[in-house]
Structure 1
Amino acid sequence: MAGPAVWQRPGELWRLLPAVLLGAAVVIDFSTPPTVSAAALYAAAVLTAAPLLDLRGTVITGVAAFLLDLAMFGYFGFHGTATEFSELSMVATVAMFSVFLNRLLDHLHTQLRSARDVAAAVQRAVLRDPPRASGSLRFAARYEAARTDAQIGGDLYAVVDTPFGVRCVIGDVRGKGLDAVRAVANSIGTFREAALQEPSLTALMERLERAVVLELELSGGVTGLEGFITTVVAEIPRHGDEVRLVNRGHPAPLMFLPDGVRYVDPLRPALPLGLGALGTGPEHIDTVGFPEGATLLLYTDGLTEARNREGDFYEPVQRPGLMEHARPDALLDALLADVHRHTGGRRTDDMALLAITHGAGTV
């Protein structure tokens, strides 16, 4: 194992750095007066070997540094002075410390890899891939965490094929860390159960609201004004060309049509899940057309709040080339590539995408 992955990313050339430093030390010793020592470079070569090389390479570098330093003293005449013994002792001590450092980094790297494997398993268990198809509907989903070393964050999505039609949800949990992951797991579990049991979207949303409020109460230390989930729930009947939407404080979905892209704004804004007690009136359900060939895109604000270096937000409705992709997976791949070009690869927030395409010819 060659040390932590952070050192492996630039490429294998970094592994040559200890040898380059040793070579530079020898050149300096040969080309300067005997009073000038390159001991710092010998020590630096051994220290850089610890994170860049495996145990064998680190030991070889340490031995080579000590022997080369000793050879330089022999070449210029070894007098057995305290300065010479001190320099050799320093190189030997650094070499032994580098072996310990190499083992420590290897252990930490193993722990990090194990944590990433666990995070990936959690993501697969909680954020399951949607079915590829259900009748004339085709699905695709993508998830990108804000941190490249994270596998899951506070965004969620799910698709459930129910007796009442296909029901989909996308949401964004306020907050980060383990509390957000718990809220994601709780919300998705509740949605999957309630989607199969509740015949109406109103009853389904009531179940979700109660689940979020209960989770906030059980978590402790979080007030109702601090913990909430913005979400969009979509219900697509098995017959007909429409989709029913409930938007609880979430970014408006996008509808990709042959003649353009538009936002599907709710007719009546509503508060996020967890804040329902502050709202007034019954749940509002928007019914919009969903013709064959159209794609409904549910997403979190990591998409529309992605900025370029000038601070400009990403605006998907101004990207007409995205409409050329008939399949939902192709659309999401093109969309992510376009976002990465816009931001230069930087990520500031989690981003979840769920595309639903209506049309038997989109396989």
Structure 2
Amino acid sequence: MGTGSVIAERQDHAGHAQRGGRTAWLPRWVRLLPPGLLLVALVMELSAPPRYSFASLLTAAVVLAALLSRSLLTVVLGCMAVALLVSMHVLVEDVYPDDITGPVITLVLVTGFATALARVLERTTLQLVQVQAVAEATQRALLRPLPDSLGPVRLAGVYRAADEAALIGGDFYSARKTPHGVRVIVGDVRGKGIGATESVATITSAFREAATSSPSLQGVAERIESAMAMDRLDLESGGSLAGNGPGGTPSGLAGELFATAVLLEFAPDGGLLRVLDRGHPPMCLIRADGGVTRLDPGPDYALPLGYADLAPAADPEPKEYRLAEGDTLVAYSDGVTEARSSRGGFYPLEQRLAERYGGADGAGAGAAAVEPAEVVGFVSRDVTRWADAVNDDMVVVVMQYRPRGGETRPPGHGAG
């Protein structure tokens, strides 16, 4: 499951709705209810005793058409209803008055109001589809789908926003192939939903620029810190980020602009991994020879990005690891490990990975054949099964060291 898979599903759904109408997602039998009611009314009038009238079904069919059909179809169905009303007046005796001008006028007025309602719903649906398209474009700009591989690193990931309709949230990731090796960042900004995307845009943009130019991970982190400091100044002065809209960040929260993150560098020389943890949950490592462990960020505690000014003398050093071919890293946000079951228990990521890939004896069968996309799919499905509801943004990025894996490949051309 690639990072674009969830987004692609929603794009297909939105495109389907735009092409087939606002109810294209409904079962066909539901959309056939309005003409079905006309048919039922006709059959009942012809078969029931004369003292019973079913003309009210005609009105119900027209109103239902406004909710389930386009305005043109509503007009057509309204005309059919009026024709049926006149026909039933002629065919069925002792039920309708000699003069049905009143019922006909009523049905015509109902058709007019129903058509107007259908038109309003069409415009509203079009606006929603356009807003969805803007959200999807923003999502692609901020969180671009991961390639299947970058140099010696195979990649896969999934991203889910707490506000699923918006697609956008406060978790982020980015990966770049640079002269210093493959660099990756995975993190979580303060807050969630649309209001957090301002910080996501700042951090991901700063990372993409600094990852290529900075010789060290500390330099990359410092560049991100500088960009976040400029955002903080904007907030304090009531600048662009302090907007009063529903997605704006209140200026009073300028001091709370921060993000936890883990920065990784897969060095060009033989399996050397550097990790700079800035207050983010520790990654899990699935060993190629079996076993799952949690990567301890070390004794040097590092403050989250945006809080470096609280400890200006601190200069946390990246921790170094040696990876064997096939070793797989799982980075994630707290939306994964803080998902609660019906009994209130948090999702035990390390334990679930060990059961799936490591085994109780630390030599899980198939650990050497782990596919990044399969790990992503397992965690995503498993969290959904575990938790009653996932109420926080969630990101999972899986990175596998494969020095003989070859060149960079775009999404959809590798393990899927």
Q: CA deviation at 1:283?
A: 3.2
Is the Cα–Cα contact under 8 Å of residues 291 and 357 in structure 2 kept in the other structure?
A: no
Would the aligned equivalents of 1:216 and 1:227 in 2 still touch at CA under 8 Å? yes
Cα displacement string for residues 124-168 of structure 1 (whole angstroms, at most 9, x for unaligned residues): 222223343333221223222233333332221111222222211
Counterpart check, 1:259 vs 2:294: no
1:321 aligned to 2:339?
no
Aligned pair partner of 1:51 in 67, 77, 80: 67
Q: Could you tell me the TM-score, scaled by structure 2's length?
A: 0.76
Letter in 2 for 1:148: E
* Preserved contact between residue 161 and residue 193 of structure 2 (Cα < 8 Å): no
2:399 paired residue among 356, 360, 363: 356
* 1:142 corresponds to which of 155, 158, 172: 158
The 1:57/1:231 distance shift into structure 2, 3 A limit, reads same
Give the CA RMSD over aligned residues.
2.8
Following the alignment from structure 1 to structure 2, what is the Cα–Cα distance between the partners of residues 178 and 148?
A: 11
Distance in 2 of aligned mates of 1:265 and 1:47: 63
Gaps of 5+ in 1: none
Q: State how many pairs are aligned.
A: 357
Q: Distance in 2 between the 1:48 and 1:361 partners?
A: 61
TM-score, length-scaled by structure 1:
0.86
- 1:35 Cα deviation from its structure 2 partner: 7.2
1:199-248: CA deviations, max 9, x gaps? 22222212211211211221241434432212111122111434222222
1:104 maps to 2:120 = yes
* Alpha-carbon contact 1:252-1:266 (below 8 Å) kept: yes
Are residue 340 (structure 1) and residue 384 (structure 2) matched? yes
Query: 1:232 aligned to 2:250?
Result: no
Counterpart selection for 1:171 from 176, 187, 195: 187
Partner Cα distance (2:98, 2:342) in 1: 60
Q: Tell me the alpha carbon deviations over residues 60-88 of structure 1, each in whole angstroms, 9 at most, x when there is no partner.
A: 2212223333444442444356xx55443
1:124 aligns with 2:154: no
Secondary structure at the counterpart of residue 207 of structure 1: helix
Report if aligned partners of 2:50, 2:93 keep a CA contact under 8 Å in 1: no
- For 1:69 and 1:178, the matched residues in 2 are separated by 52
CA drift at 1:198: 1.8
Task: Report whether the alignment pairs 1:274 with 2:292.
Answer: no
Q: Which moved more, 1:280-289 or 1:212-221?
A: 280-289
Measured after TM superposition, the shift of residue 101 of structure 1 is 1.9
Instruction: Tell me whether 9-18 or 60-69 shows the greater mean CA deviation.
Output: 60-69
Checking the alignment, whether the CA contact within 8 Å between 2:265 and 2:274 is kept in structure 1 is yes
CA distance in 2, matches of 1:281, 1:159: 29
Matched residues, percent identical?
A: 34
Conserved? CA contact 1:146–1:348, under 8 Å: yes
Alignment of 1:76-95 (within 5 A): 76-77=93-94, 78-80=96-98, 85-95=101-111
- Matched residues in 2 for 1:341 and 1:322: separation? 18
Letter in 2 for 1:330: E
The answer to whether structure 1 residue 3 and structure 2 residue 21 are counterparts is yes
Q: 1:265 corresponds to which letter in structure 2?
A: D
Aligned to 1:301: 334
CA apart distance, 1:36: 6.0
Q: Any idea what SS the aligned residue of 1:282 has?
A: coil
**Does the 8 Å CA contact 1:306/1:314 hold for their aligned counterparts?**
yes
Contact 1:228 1:275 in 2 (8 A): yes
* Aligned partner letter, 2:172: L
Give the deviation of 1:300 after TM superposition: 1.7
Secondary structure at 2:140's aligned position in 1? helix
- Taking CA–CA contacts closer than 8 Å with sequence separation of 6 or more, which of the two structures ends up with the larger relative contact order? 2
Distance 1:176 1:53 in 2: 36
Find the counterpart in structure 1 of residue 324 from structure 2: 291
* Aligned counterparts of 1:312 and 1:288: Cα–Cα separation in 2: 32
The residue type paired with residue 283 of structure 1 is D
- Matched residue, 1:113: 129
Alpha-carbon contact 1:175-1:227 (below 8 Å) kept: no
- Write out per-residue CA displacement over residues 92-118 of structure 1, whole angstroms, 9 at most, x where no aligned residue: 222112212222222222222222222
Pairs within 5 Å for 1:14-53: 14-26=30-42, 31=48, 34=51, 38-39=55-56, 41-53=57-69
Do the aligned residues in 2 keep the contact of 1:3 with 1:105 (CA within 8 Å)? Answer: no
Letter paired with 1:223: L
Tell me what 1:249 maps to.
Answer: 279
